Amino acid sequence: MCDTCGCPTPDDHFEHKKLVVDINQSLLKANNEQAQKNKIHIESLGAVGINMISSPGSGKTTLLEQTIEKLSPRFKIGVIEGDIETERDAERIRAKGVPVVQITTGGACHLDARLVHKGIHQLVDQGHEHFDIIFIENVGNLVCPATFDLGEHQRIVLLSVPEGSDKPAKYPKPFQSSDGFLITKTDLLPYFDFSIEESKREALLLNPDLFIFELSSTTGKGMEAWLSYLDELQNSGEKTP
Amino acid sequence: MHELSLAQGLLEQLKSICSEHGATKITKVSLSIGKQSGIVIDSFEFGFEILSKDEAITENAVLEILTVDPTSRCMDCKATFAGFEYTSCKHCNSTNLRSYGGDDLVLTQVEME
């Protein structure tokens, strides 16, 4: 039997035309290209885009509720909510009186640029031509969202006190790829064995450029630093007016 | 992660490359996967193995994966070295390191008949 093609006798072997083609194309390219378009779209609305990543239950929605209360109506805020199921988060944000779009991924563990593209259009379709800040609340997951650029200007990772201060070391990717790190639920520090110092040290080893805030959305402690960061970001001129 | 859906995307792309070049089957597929891409190579291979068997074009395709190291750069002494598992610079011990690259999944070459 011919070793090359498996045809029954060597005599039957015919010249196989082998074709080798260099492709050199990224399989993540489609997402990255869409992300670039999203960024331009967000800027054309006058906004900065902020992608918020954390485990489920770290307090992303509660922080957004408190942030909206403090910054709206001075800033025109829009929110894109990512969840696997339900409209619940969008309803909470809607109750604060700002435009919101709920994206349910139906099982997918992260938002991708294509979903956010739809989300931005749905926000605009609610009759808004201008935003100052568009928050994208990613699906609760400390792993997968970190791989997908959504076209955001800033990526923020949240870690709540009950989760434990070892998480930056155990789940490095979101800490490596983020601009900011928020330690949330600091009002619970007396009840948990959480070392602020350890989590900061390990996060900075992964990414020395991270800015870090400690805050509690419940008591409001530490919120000022977060709010002035948003203020500065919005005024920094990173986006086109 | 999403290795199965990435493998599915790859197979779709292979089919169109195959028909573009008038070939009837794919014999070898070469990829490079960055160690910082978040892609688990074993899971990706498993997904590819299952899905490639569904189509005559890809059923005999061999997957060849090259892993790519990110580069670390010390912002203090400017030394660069392969890998990202370092917490301090090999040369000056500074912890002010950045890592670059090694975060992509690239289809490098396809062999067809």
**What ipTM, to 2 d.p.?**
0.82
Q: Would you call B101 exposed, middle or buried from its count of C-beta atoms within 10 A (0-12, 13-18, 19+)?
A: middle
pLDDT at residue A14 is higher than 80: no
pLDDT in tens, A35-47: 999 999 999 999 9
B98: chain A residues, CB-CB within 8 Å: 208-209
CA distance A126 to A102: 13
Nearest CA in chain B to A142: B1
B6: chain A residues, CB-CB within 8 Å: 27
Q: Please, which pLDDT band fits residue A235 given cuts at 50, 70 and 90? A: confident
What would the two tokens of residue A44 be?
A: 């054309």
What would the two tokens of residue A43 be?
A: 């800027």
Who among A16, A25, A143 is closest to B1 (CB)? A143
Q: Is B71 helix (H, G, I), strand (E, B) or coil?
A: strand
pLDDT computed for residue A201 by the predictor:
96
Instruction: Determine contact: B93 vs chain A, CB below 8 A.
Output: no
The domain total for chain B is: 1
Instruction: Determine contact: B62 vs chain A, CB below 8 A.
Output: no
Domain that holds residue B76: 3-112
pLDDT computed for residue A107 by the predictor:
82
**Rounded average pLDDT over A194-223:** 96
**Rounded average pLDDT over A149-178:** 96
CA distance B62 to A195: 48
List domains and CATH numbers for chain A: 26-235 (3.40.50.300)
| DSSP sequence for A74-137 | TS-EEEEEEESS-SHHHHHHHTTTS-EEEEE-TT-SS--HHHHHHHHHHHHHTT----SEEEEE
Mutation choice for B interface testing from A27, A142, A155, A200 by most B CBs within 10 A? A27
Residue owning tokens 């573009």? B20
Instruction: Identify the CATH number of the domain in which residue B8 sits.
Output: 3.30.2320.80
